[in-house]
Structure 1
Amino acid sequence: MKPAQPRPAPDSSAFGVFSYREVGATRLGPLPEGYRHLHHRVRIGRGRTVFEAAGAAVTTWRLHRSAGARILAGSPWAEPGTDVKVSVGPGPLRLSAPCQVVWTAYEKDRTGFAYGTLPGHPECGEESFMVELREDGSVWFTVMAFSRPARWYSRLAGPLVPVLQLGYAKWLGRTLRRIAAGG
């Protein structure tokens, strides 16, 4: 069953070898220097029902799958230590990115997780996906990340990578809004 309380970042020596040192930085901040930073927040609806639907979609991989990513995960929901392989793109251009869940939050008004990159990922860093129910009843989705190129082709893509990352974060927000509304 999914954890009832937030779970800490695992020790990378016990759960795998992350390709960066600042494991867990998306949970507590600040985001580390020497990386590109992404912070995208969008309102996705209102009320506890929307919050619960959105939180479930985020932590069971439904959001990413609905947004067009192929997800192979070692668990049906996000939990620290779970290996996740995210693949995007068409056919022979499909890029695969090995990750591992670093931390999770299954709280009354916050649900989400972060995964960190493993060797072989085109980037090096961490990305979190958080759904929050605020006191005014509004429900917000936040994607926060820090990354830098780890492969020759991501270095070659240069300034295009942050544009693609922001575009994907916005696409996730639109997709989550639709899912949480019952779509």
Structure 2
Amino acid sequence: MRRGTFRDETVDYAAVGATQAPDLMQYPPERSRPAQESWRLGSGEDRFRTASEAVLSWRAQRDGGLSVTDVRPAAGPMYSGVSFDAEGNAIAPSKLEADQRFDADGTPWVSSGATVHLRGRVKGLKAGGELRVILAIEEPRRVGFLLGTVSDTVVSGEESFMVEWYENDEVWFTVRAFDAPRSFFYKVMPWLITRRRKALFQRYLRAISPLYATPA
């Protein structure tokens, strides 16, 4: 696959896109631990758009206590990500063609093929490393992205951050993930993976939920 000026590195796991599989919780990738949480954000188009912009501008990570640095968008149309059908099967390159957007501090928003460095700690446990945006989705009622591990991570796997505006007008934010241990520490104490993931999910959900918004 042709790439532009960003570093020529691929994700470090095989089950790319598995966070989109309906049966992730029952049949996770080998040696990995699956997780999923959802939170109702409210209702209506305004809530959907506000939450969507928050997710695409890395708010879940930043307001969740992780530093977001060295965001490198894929160059031009050379890398367009991977698309998945309703069963989580890869079908064709993503066609997201939106112009690159930036946060107030100049940080690029989420885009397919971008790489990013996350750094932080959760309950004393390391979180972050180098990751790649596997897929970015912007549909009329569904917005979000998939983030996969590349290097310098204590676990290997994928996270999915999705905001959906349902036909009943409710807006929900759902995070899904699967993690396989990479470091010796997690291999001998795998229960820490679940503890770390649960804490991360709570941070992500609180960062996007208006119930926990910081007053202006």
- Superposition TM-score, scaled by structure 2 size: 0.71
Equivalent in the alignment of 1:132 = 164
Is it true that 1:119 corresponds to 2:151 in the alignment?
yes
Q: Which runs of 5+ in 1 are unaligned?
A: 1-10
Give the structure 2 partner of residue 8 of structure 1: none
Residue in structure 1 matching 2:34, options 10, 33, 37: 37
How do residues 59-98 of structure 1 correspond to structure 2 at under 5 angstroms?
59-72=56-69, 73-75=71-73, 76-89=108-121, 95-98=127-130
Give me the identity figure in percent.
Answer: 30
- In structure 2, stretches of 5+ residues that fail to align are 74-107
Match of 1:55 in 2: 52
Residue 164 of structure 1 pairs with residue 196 of structure 2: yes
Report the equivalent of 2:101: none
Cα separation, 1, equivalents of 2:65 and 2:119: 9
Q: Report how far residue 149 of structure 1 moved.
A: 0.4
Query: What is the distance in 2 between the residues matched to 1:117 and 1:178?
Result: 29
Give the stretch that moved more between structures: 173-182 or 163-172. Answer: 173-182
For 1:171 and 1:61, the matched residues in 2 are separated by 13
SS of residue matched to 1:118: strand
Q: Which of these residues, 24, 40, 43, is aligned with residue 17 of structure 2?
A: 24
Of Structure 1 and Structure 2, the greater helix share is in 1
Aligned CA-pair RMSD: 2.5
Deviation at 1:170, TM superposition (A): 2.0
In 1, distance between residues paired with 2:186 and 2:205? Answer: 24
Q: Deviations over 1:70-113 (max 9, x none)?
A: 011224111121111111129x9765411100011101000000
Equivalent residue, structure 2, for 1:146: 178
